């Protein structure tokens, strides 16, 4: 048998160092809507990052932004944002998703 597969895991078991790599979780492809931030409204409170289930909000210094590789588009950040700075927008209008 010819094995063409290049190993994902460096260990025998399916363990990964989450600091360096979140493996196999291409959950961004599940998304139908993405969070779009209005930076004018955002006051960098961090509630979106606290509530985000897959913890994919990136700290950009003055605001938070979803990592779209992992963001499933659940919309919890938009619901929890006290300043309504996040809007969920259909993926249909984007070309990078």
Partner 1 sequence: MVSAQKGQVRVLTGNAVGAYGAMVCRPEVIAAYPITPQSEIAEQLAQFKADGTIDAEYVEVEGENSAMNVVLGASAAGARVFTATSSYGLVFMYDALQEASGFRAPVVMVNANRETPGIHAVSSGQQDMISARDTGWVQIIVENDQEILDQIIMAYRLAEDNDILLPVMVNYDGFYLSYLAEAVEIPKIEDVDAFLSPLKKQPARQRLVPGLPIGCGTHGIEMGYVEARYKHCQAMERVKNKVDEIDKAFGDYFGRYYGGQIEEYRTGDADIVIIASGSATGTAKTVVDTKREQGLKVGLIKLRLFRPFPAERLVKILKGKKAVGVIDRSVSFGWKYGPICMELKALTADFGPMPVLSYIDGLANLDITIPHIGRVIDEVDAAARGKPYQEVTWIPME
Asked if residues 18 and 24 have their Cβ atoms less than 8 Å apart, the reply is no
Contact pick of 2, 13, 61, 62 for partner 1 (by CB under 8 A): 13
As beta bridge partners, residue 70 has: none
Q: First and final CA of the chain: distance in angstroms? A: 36
Which listed range, 6-14, 34-42, 69-77, 81-89, lies at the site for partner 1 (CB under 8 A)? 6-14
- Nearest approach, Cβ of residue 27 and partner 1 (Å): 9
Q: Does 5 bind partner 1 (CB under 8 A)?
A: yes
String marking each residue 17-36 x if it binds partner 1 according to CB under 8 A: xxx--xxxxx----------
Contact by Cβ (8 Å): 71, 54:
yes
User: Which of the 8 DSSP states describes residue 10?
Assistant: S
6, two tokens? 């290049």
Residues that bind partner 1 (CB under 8 A): 5, 7-9, 11-19, 22-26
């Amino acid at each position: 048998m010819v094995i063409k597969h290049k190993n994902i895991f460096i260990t025998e078991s399916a363990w990964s160092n989450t600091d360096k790599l979140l493996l196999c979780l291409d959950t961004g492809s599940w998304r139908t809507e993405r969070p779009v931030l209005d930076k004018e409204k955002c006051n960098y409170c961090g509630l979106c990052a606290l509530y985000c289930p897959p913890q994919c909000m990136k700290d950009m210094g003055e605001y938070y932004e979803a990592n779209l590789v992992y963001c499933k588009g659940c919309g919890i950040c938009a619901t929890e944002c006290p300043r309504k700075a996040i809007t969920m927008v259909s993926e249909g209008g984007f070309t990078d998703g």
